[in-house]
Amino acid sequence: MSLVTPEFGLLFWMVLIFGIVFFLLAKFGFPIITGSVDERSAKIEQSLKDAEEIEARMAEWKVEQAKLLEQTRKEQSLILKEATEAKARIVSEAKAEARQEADKLLAQAQVQIQAEKESALRDVRREVALLSVQVAEKVLRQELSDTGNQRAFIDQLVDEAAQAELHS
């Protein structure tokens, strides 16, 4: 049957034409297409891998960032606390110093006042003594203007002296 016996003419043409088609396509057709597509799929694969890596790194960064943020917040509160403490300390120190200063001033003032007072008293005493001497002088001069009185006075002085002698 002719169906299962290959015809020579067709064989000849098939070999020739298929050969030419294969040669042309293998040289100018398929390698360009498959090469480009392979390159592109390689690139896509690489990009996907890169994206995954970046995503992982991003997640890492996020964790790190959160950690950093927390640390910062802790530090912030610590600093705030320290600042408050420092404020209180400075204030209290200032207060204490002020009080000390005031005490010192007060003490100085008191000393000065005491001194002033004493010197004033001394002056007063001196004045009083002088005055009493002058008064006594004037009294004595008046009383001892006559001889009877002079004598009585001398007697009195002698008595007093004698009594003082007896007492001691």
Partner 1 sequence: MILTALILFLLLGAAPASPDAVDVPTIIFDHIGDEYEWHITEWKGKAIAIPLPCIVIEDGVHVFTLHHAAEHGYTLNEKGKLVNADTGKRPLDLSITKNVLALIISSLLLLVIVLWTARWYRRHDALKEAPTGLTSAMEALVMIPHNIARENIGEEDYRRYSPYLCTVFLWILLNNFLGILPFFPGGANLTGNIAITMVLALCTFFTVNLTGTKHYYKEIFLPDVPGFLKPIMPVIEVFSAFMKPVSLTIRLFANMLAGHIMILSMVCIIFIMAKYGPALSGGMTVVSVLFGVFLDALECLVAFIQAYVFTMLSSIYIGLARQHEE
Which residues contact partner 1 by CB under 8 A?
A: 2-15, 17-18, 20-22, 24-26, 28-40, 43
Residue whose tokens read 């001889």? 147
> 5 or 168: whose CB is closer to partner 1?
5
Min dist CB 25 to partner 1, Å, is 5
Choice between 13 and 61, CB closer to partner 1: 13
Of 35 and 119, which CB lies nearer to partner 1 in the complex structure? Answer: 35
d(CA 168, CA 63): 107
Rounded distance, CA 43 to CA 16, Å?
A: 39
Q: How far is the CB of 27 from partner 1 (least distance, A)?
A: 8
Shortest Cβ 49–partner 1 spacing (Å) = 16
Q: Which residue is listed with tokens 């009080």?
A: 99
* Residue 150: how many other CB atoms lie within 10 Å: 13
Q: Least distance in Å: CB of 15 to partner 1?
A: 6
Q: Which residue lies nearer to partner 1 by CB, 31 or 129?
A: 31
- Closest approach, Cβ 50 to partner 1, in A, equals 14
CB 150 within 8 A of CB 144: yes
**SS3 state at 110:** helix
The smaller minimum CB distance to partner 1, of residues 9 and 148, is found at: 9
Q: What is the DSSP letter of 7?
A: -
User: How far apart are the two ends of the chain, measured CA to CA in Å?
Assistant: 187
